[in-house]
Amino acid sequence: MSNFYKKILDNNKQWVESQLALDPDYFNDLSKGQNPPLLWIGCSDSRVPANEIIGAKPGEVFVHRNIANLVIHTDMNMLSVLDYAVNALKVKHIIVCGHYGCGGVKAAMGNESIGIIDNWIRHIKDLFRIHQEELLSIDDEEKRFNKLVELNVVEQVYDLAKTSIVQNAWKIGQELSLHGWVYGLNSGYVTDLDVNFSCNKDLDEVFKLNI
Ligand SMILES: [Zn+2]
């Protein structure tokens, strides 16, 4: 057995012991149910662990992660997580959190074929095309990359707001706010991009649903 594999099993035992030492009912209480106020939609990148970077405990964050934190409205996985989070768990906030240095966004800016992922990050290429003028006017490659990371987060927040699930929640008066963040791999800090929705009034007319 590899050292790493053995280590993570040992880590689990130690973690259980340390939690129980603090609170003997810790796992009993958690097993009774969850009531998280937040749905986190983030990147699969191993360096952006949702709970750790916001100091959240087990039970506080419902999490969905995929490559480049995309909200694709035909993605049954994302839609199922979103539906359950909004309609069953009644989360009050949804954060889309991208990160600078995102490999998915970087790959989308280039021309190399990587495999199946080419089709997934095509969504980011579409976004690049929409913002082509602005992006190509940025000479510094790193800054252009950062800008696309930010534009991608903003777009995904809009795409969340366009879903029937989110619009339906607003229609029935459920408290639900959407936010967009970018995490800095080299600083540990998140930046709030100030793209906030709590109703559908800022959506383009064509996306507003009469639910
Ligand atoms: Zn990423």
Average pLDDT of the chain is 97
Total number of domains in the chain: 2
Same domain, 147 and 55: yes
21 with 79, same domain?
no
The whole-number pLDDT of residue 211 equals 80
- Whether residue 92 is found in the same domain as residue 20: no
Residue 26 pLDDT > 80:
yes
C-alpha 91 to ligand 1 mean position (Å): 24
- Is there a single domain that holds both residue 6 and residue 53? no
| Whether residues 113 and 59 fall in one domain | yes
Residues 141 and 109 in one domain: yes
Q: Is 93 part of the annotated catalytic residue set?
A: no
Is 102 known to be catalytic? yes
Based on the residue annotation, tell me whether 29 is a catalytic residue of this protein.
no
204 catalytic per annotation: no
Q: Examine the pLDDT at 1 and tell me if it is beyond 90.
A: no
Same domain, yes or no, for 151 and 183? yes
For residue 52, give both structure tokens: 């750790």
Domain with 11 in it: 1-32
Same domain, 18 and 82: no
pTM of the model: 0.96
- State whether 24 and 116 are in the same domain: no
Residues 119 and 154 in one domain: yes
pLDDT in tens, 184-205: 999 999 999 999 999 999 999 9
Judge whether 109 and 148 are in contact, CB under 8 Å. yes
Q: For residues 20 and 93, state if they share a domain.
A: no
Q: What is the mean pLDDT of residues 148-167?
A: 98
Are 21 and 125 contained in the same domain?
A: no
Identify the CATH number of the domain in which residue 64 sits. 3.40.1050.10
